[in-house]
């Protein structure tokens, strides 16, 4: 292996980073993220001998466009690592092995940390702010500000870690933040949920609070029922049917 | 004709937020708490938009966008919900229930439209298979741009058609129906609260200590109900 991958010029790095935001632009059931990965890594491949359209460039593009899956925010880890691998002349076999091996971890770490952790935490923070009387602008900015702090940082960290470590990037996914982070984030979500749900419910109900206790009791009963059914029914669909029945009853009675 | 023209700003907003859900940039401006507030703001009722946004956000906590799973598309749907509720007079009983239902239904159809969109991209990828397999940059970029553009169109169509159907339908339902304001509001809030709490519990209950944090939070939340 040749360890002399060039430092990426700022323009190339910026182009890859911007393309990462559209990495799911052509997500489909055949290749999943495959096309998006090739799209994102392409600016780096222009640095290969022969430049854009050269033999090395075309061979690398061909390798990068195959099936690939990852959490979109963690795709930068793979894109950075693959860019370094191509620019440092790794063998096609090693690159292919890496692509196959990193799909699972990049998906599961992202799902636990972002979809099941950071997103609910930011949502609940915004719901709590609403419940405590924050203005619409403050609620929206609080949600978007906090969420995207984590979102953009993760994308930038992933690209940097991937290009720094190349095909040896796996240990970066085992850092304490990524290993223990999901558990801490889940506890924060639990704490915030306890605070946010009652105050948000009260704020929706408004000044007439006669029925607050009954609504909270009904919501708690429904939540326990849904938790016990454990994914066998989707609550939002059940709620949709219930609302449809209520509307129909109110029209025909 | 004037009615259709009024829908254009909302349609454009729905298109952008539909795009954010998956394709670009996934900054979560498509989350209900943002999207419905923006929808309400476009019809001059930002507060009412936020109210529907909070209700839909509680529902959306249950449908986090894991991998290739099918989930509702909340971006366009929340614009529809926020705008519909914003369009109703303040005293309209039942408006919250009808607007929430319209948003849930649009989210369901939006989820279906995302699956069709992904199949369409796979079809285009199939047509470009040889060029893509050969590593053609033009084919790769073309597929990417087609995916992004068609997702904008999908979001716009979802929003436009949903508003075209639900704006007049909501008026008819609210005029003909005999709604009780308190019952309608309480039903919606109880359902949203149940779904949101159940969803959070599902996500966190396996984490060591999380149930205690939840109980601690409930004590804090309950105290806040009394002191604020």
| Residue pLDDT, tens place only, A217-248 | 999 999 999 988 877 899 999 999 999 999 99
- Among the partner-chain residues B25, B190, B224, the one whose CB lies closest to the CB of A218 is B190
Q: Average pLDDT for residues B214-221, to the nearest whole number?
A: 95
Q: Note the pLDDT of residue A90.
A: 96
Q: Is A253 an interface residue toward B (CB < 8 Å)?
A: yes
- Among the partner-chain residues B41, B136, B141, the one whose CB lies closest to the CB of A39 is B141
A222 and A98 fall within a common domain: no
A93 and A123 fall within a common domain: no
Length of chain A measured in residues: 253
Q: Is A180 an interface residue toward B (CB < 8 Å)?
A: no
Q: Is A4 part of a structural domain of the chain?
A: no
Q: Residue A207 — very low, low, confident or very high, per pLDDT cuts 50/70/90?
A: confident
Mutate to test the interface with B, among A92, A219, A225, A249 (most CBs of B within 10 A): A219
Kindly give, in sequence order, each residue whose CB lies less than 8 Å from that of residue B211, ignoring residues fewer than 6 positions away. A190, B204, B205
Q: Residue B206 — very low, low, confident or very high, per pLDDT cuts 50/70/90?
A: confident
- Cα–Cα distance for residue pair A219/B192, rounded to 1 Å: 8
Total domains in chain A come to 2
A115 and A95 fall within a common domain: no
Q: Is A212 part of a structural domain of the chain?
A: yes
Name which of B121, B38, B47 is nearest B74 in CA terms: B38
Domain boundary among A64, A80, A102: A102
Q: Average pLDDT for residues A212-217, to the nearest whole number?
A: 93
Over the stretch B101-115, which tens digit does the pLDDT of each residue have? Answer: 999 999 999 999 999
Q: Is the distance from CB of A94 to CB of A82 less than 8 angstroms?
A: no
CB contact under 8 A, A222 and B58: no
A118 and A241 fall within a common domain: yes
Domain boundary among A54, A85, A102: A102
Ramachandran region, residue A50 (left: φ > 0; alpha: ψ -120 to 50; beta: rest): left
Q: Residue A114 — very low, low, confident or very high, per pLDDT cuts 50/70/90?
A: very high
Domain boundary among A102, A132, A149: A102
Domain that holds residue A44: 10-102
- Among the partner-chain residues B24, B140, B182, the one whose CB lies closest to the CB of A21 is B24
A152 and A206 fall within a common domain: yes
Q: Note the pLDDT of residue A1.
A: 47
- How close, in Å, is residue A23 to chain B by CA atoms? 7
- Cα–Cα distance for residue pair A237/B33, rounded to 1 Å: 19
Q: Is A32 part of a structural domain of the chain?
A: yes
A98 and A115 fall within a common domain: no
**A126: which chain B residues are within 8 Å (Cβ-Cβ)?**
33, 57
Q: Note the pLDDT of residue B203.
A: 86
């Amino acid at each position: 292996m040749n360890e002399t991958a060039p430092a990426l010029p700022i323009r190339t790095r910026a182009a890859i980073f911007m393309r990462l935001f559209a990495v799911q632009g052509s997500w489909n059931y055949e290749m999943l993220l495959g096309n998006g990965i090739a799209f994102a890594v392409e600016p780096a491949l222009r640095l290969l001998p022969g430049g854009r359209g050269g033999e090395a460039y075309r061979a690398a593009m061909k390798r990068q466009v195959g099936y690939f899956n990852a959490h979109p925010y963690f795709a930068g880890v793979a894109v950075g690592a693959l860019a370094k691998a191509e620019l440092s002349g790794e063998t096609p076999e090693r690159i292919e092995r890496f692509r196959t091996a990193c799909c699972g971890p990049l998906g599961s770490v992202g799902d636990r940390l972002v979809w099941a952790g950071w997103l609910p935490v930011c949502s609940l923070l915004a719901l709590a702010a609403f419940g405590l009387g924050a203005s619409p602008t403050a609620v929206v900015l609080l949600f978007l500000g906090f969420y995207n702090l984590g979102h953009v940082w993760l994308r930038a960290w992933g690209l940097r870690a991937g290009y720094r470590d190349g095909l040896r990037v796996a240990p970066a996914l085992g850092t304490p933040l990524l290993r223990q982070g999901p558990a801490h984030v889940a506890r924060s979500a639990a704490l915030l949920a306890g605070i946010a749900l009652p105050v948000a419910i009260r704020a929706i109900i408004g000044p007439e609070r006669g029925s607050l206790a009954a609504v909270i009791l009904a919501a708690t009963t429904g939540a326990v029922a849904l938790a016990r059914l454990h994914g066998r029914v989707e609550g939002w669909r059940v709620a949709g049917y219930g609302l449809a029945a209520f509307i129909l009853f109110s029209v025909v009675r | 004709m004037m009615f259709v023209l009024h829908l254009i700003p909302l349609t454009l907003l729905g298109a952008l937020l539909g795009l954010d859900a998956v394709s670009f940039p996934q900054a979560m401006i498509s989350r209900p708490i943002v999207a419905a507030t923006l929808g309400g703001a476009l019809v001059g009722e930002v507060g009412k938009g936020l109210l529907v946004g909070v209700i839909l956000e509680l529902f959306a906590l249950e449908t986090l966008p894991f991998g290739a799973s099918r989930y509702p598309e909340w971006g366009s749907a929340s614009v529809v919900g926020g705008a519909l509720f914003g369009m109703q007079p303040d005293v309209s009983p039942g408006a919250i229930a009808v607007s929430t239902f319209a948003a849930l239904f649009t989210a369901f159809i939006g989820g279906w439209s995302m699956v069709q969109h992904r199949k369409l991209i796979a079809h285009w990828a199939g047509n470009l298979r040889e060029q893509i397999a050969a590593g053609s940059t033009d084919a790769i970029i073309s597929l990417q741009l087609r995916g992004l553009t068609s997702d904008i169109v999908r979001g716009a169509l979802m929003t436009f058609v949903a508003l075209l159907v639900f704006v007049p339908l909501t008026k008819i339902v609210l005029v003909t129906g005999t709604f009780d304001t308190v019952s309608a509001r309480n039903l919606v809030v109880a359902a949203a609260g149940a779904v949101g709490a159940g969803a959070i519990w599902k996500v966190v209950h396996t984490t060591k200590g999380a149930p205690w944090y939840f109980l601690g939070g409930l004590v804090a939340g309950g105290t806040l109900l009394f002191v604020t």
